[in-house]
Amino acid sequence: MKLRFGKLKSLVTLTAFVLAAITMASFIPTGNLASYSGTVKPMEFYFHYSDIPVSVAGLQTKYFINTTRFFRFSTVEEAYANSFYKPIGLPKIDIDFYLYPNLAGPVTFNGLWQVFIWVNASAYKPATFSLHFQEIAVGGRVLWDSGVLNPTITSSIGAYVGVPIYCYNLTVSLVHTFNSDTSLLVEVEVNAGSSADTRIWYDSPLFPSKAILPAEDYARPAWVKTCSVDNSETNLFYYNASQSERVVIVRANVTDPFGGYDIYKVNITIVDPEGNLVIDNEDMTRASDGLWFIKYSNVYEMNWSYPTTALVGNYTVIVSVIDNNGLYHYNDAGIYYPFVEEETHTFTMGIIVYYDPSFLITDDVGEPLPNAQVYITWRNGTTDILPRYTATNGFINLSQVPAGNYGFTVLWKDLIVKQITIHVDSNGPYTIKTQVFQLTVNVFGNDGSIIHGAYVIIYTQSGVGYGLDLTDSAGKAIFKLPSGTYRIEAYYATDYWLTTIKSSATEQATVSASTSKNLILKDYPPAIWSTTGFWILIITIMIAIVIAICAFLITLRKRTHM
């Protein structure tokens, strides 16, 4: 683009320009409501200038288009000094403007593409006009090229230029779908010959050069949802809930292929079952942060704190989105239509029912888990400071709580073994199966005999004792443990054949599911000849034998002497 700025000629000339602009404003071609039918909307993009270059389409430029009317040159003098200028001797003037920011989402332009430019020259001359459009990726790669187009020209003097500043509508028929994160290049060429100088005026409320493109995609609410105070999505609320819970959070996801900057306002209306407006066209607040200015999707929200007198029944939420074109159309014509999109949503106001739910906390095989610590997160998002403890049967009970989502954090041996959210809508019982596993320790003697009454102790790897139990008549001791690696020690002491015997065994077990582990007491039972009882028995037998032999000999001797 070749650019030259001329000097101010005279106050008389400027006055003529202004009078001509005011006179010819009534000749600017405008759309009518018929053009707004269907899904295509004529979106206006104004030509702007920035002192600081912007990065777009693989280059930096000070000339861009967007949907705002934030004009830079408010006076005729400023607009004149910054207009595009072609001096006598050069045949034509061409300008390039890029859509900035880049498209936040895909958009299709289908129909009449119009470019309105304000032009004047130093003499009344015939002129030719051409248009050229391109879709350009971030790195500068051209994805689509319309080629040079000869537009239909609409103005009060046709395809001529003169000293007064006239507005020209350059129109072509095109259809193209642009990709997300690309830019549109609008190139305009005016050729009035080399015998007259030429100016193109822009970025001024007096000379608002712009493009009007037939968009099939624009700002609209993609969805509307209602949430309770704990931010869980729901369509059911209760008029007799507690004061802190009598809140309807309405969220709307608003999408705009031109970016968040193009959204003028998002309004909400809520209608009760009898048709009364409980919320009447109030502004919603943007909840999105960060790069909302160029984002495709932004979430807006509004909280309605409803009274205890709220009617029971179905409520209708109407969310309307108005973009920049809607704002300017309202300023010009007094209505937002057609630049407003709506989405509706329904929720129900009911009567809250209170329950006395019970919750069974079990290990992974379904057996009750007594004395487990349980922290509850309530519907309003608060969590117990002190834990509740399960009874011997593994139950905890709540009383007079409303339906809703409740969070449970279960600890066993000071470790979290389950976190779950349960929707309560009855008295239950609700079962919460934890990651607490059964470790069955079997203690045997070295001869395979079952050991009853052995002490079994479970230690963590750091040496913390986790459990102590005696083996039952089947030689078993059962422990409930969280996942981990443990050291198992078994101790057994008893009198065996009048000898006190002490024996022990140690094993290691990794627990990630219910399992069993065998421990063998290598020193029990001992060899029988190592016991006191055995030797007492042997000695007793030997004494008995000696006595018997002596008695026999005495008897034999008596018989011999007779």
Secondary-structure percent of the chain, ordered helix, strand, coil, rounded to 5: 15, 50, 35
Give pLDDT tens digits for 285-299. Answer: 999 777 888 999 999
Give pLDDT tens digits for 512-546. Answer: 999 999 999 988 887 667 666 677 878 888 888 88
Q: How many CB atoms lie within 10 A of CB 147?
A: 8
Q: Which CATH number is correct for 220-350, 3.20.20.300, 2.60.40.3880, 3.30.2010.10, 3.30.160.20? A: 2.60.40.3880
User: What average pLDDT score do residues 401-405 get?
Assistant: 87
The three-state secondary structure class of 49 is: strand
Task: For tokens 């607009």, name the residue.
Answer: 79
Question: 394 or 230: which carries more pLDDT confidence?
Answer: 394
pLDDT of the residue at 562: 65
pLDDT bin (cut points 50, 70, 90) of residue 7 is: very low
CB–CB of 284/264 below 8 Å? Answer: no
Question: 556 or 148: which carries more pLDDT confidence?
Answer: 148
Under CATH, which number does the domain 11-215 receive? 2.60.120
DSSP class per residue in 7-65? PP--HHHHHHHHHHHHHHGGGS----GGGG-TT-EEEEEEEEEEEEEEEETTEEEEEEE
pLDDT of the residue at 395: 98
CB–CB of 345/248 below 8 Å? Answer: no
Give pLDDT tens digits for 126-175. Answer: 999 999 999 999 989 999 999 999 999 999 999 999 999 999 999 999 99
Q: Is the pLDDT of residue 241 over 90?
A: no
Q: State which fold the 355-432 domain adopts.
A: Immunoglobulin-like (2.60.40)
Q: Determine how β-strand 220-227 pairs with β-strand 198-201.
A: unpaired
Q: Is the pLDDT of residue 281 over 50?
A: yes
| Structure token digits, residue 436 | 């607490």
For the whole prediction, is pTM greater than 0.75?
no
Q: What residue ranges do the domains of the chain occupy? A: 11-215, 220-350, 355-432, 436-530
Q: Is the pLDDT of residue 487 over 50?
A: yes
pLDDT bin (cut points 50, 70, 90) of residue 37 is: very low
CB–CB of 456/469 below 8 Å? Answer: yes
How far is 2 from 86, CA to CA, in rounded Å?
9
Q: Which helix (H) or strand (E) holds 521?
A: strand 515-521
Q: What is the mean pLDDT of the chain?
A: 89
| Structure token digits, residue 541 | 């037998």
The three-state secondary structure class of 343 is: strand
pLDDT of the residue at 375: 98
Give pLDDT tens digits for 324-350. Answer: 999 999 999 999 999 999 999 999 999
Give pLDDT tens digits for 61-74. Answer: 999 999 999 999 99
Closest CA to 259 of 294, 287, 288: 294
pLDDT of the residue at 2: 39
Strands, E assignment, 104-165: 107-121, 125-126, 128-137, 142-149, 152-154, 160-161
CB–CB of 160/198 below 8 Å? Answer: no
Question: 293 or 257: which carries more pLDDT confidence?
Answer: 257
pLDDT bin (cut points 50, 70, 90) of residue 209 is: very high
CB–CB of 130/148 below 8 Å? Answer: yes
pLDDT of the residue at 527: 66
pLDDT of the residue at 230: 87
Q: Indicate if 436-530 has the same CATH topology as 11-215.
A: no
Q: Is the pLDDT of residue 553 over 70?
A: yes
Start-to-end CA span in the chain (Å): 158
How far is 533 from 498, CA to CA, in rounded Å?
5
pLDDT of the residue at 20: 37
How far is 123 from 162, CA to CA, in rounded Å?
5
In the CATH scheme, what is the homologous superfamily, with its name and number, of domain 436-530? Carboxypeptidase-like, regulatory domain (2.60.40.1120)
**What whole-number percentage of the chain has pLDDT above 70?**
91
When computed from its CA atoms, the radius of gyration of the chain, rounded to whole angstroms, is 45
Range scoring the smallest mean pLDDT among 303-307, 316-320, 539-543: 539-543
Q: How many CB atoms lie within 10 A of CB 12?
A: 8
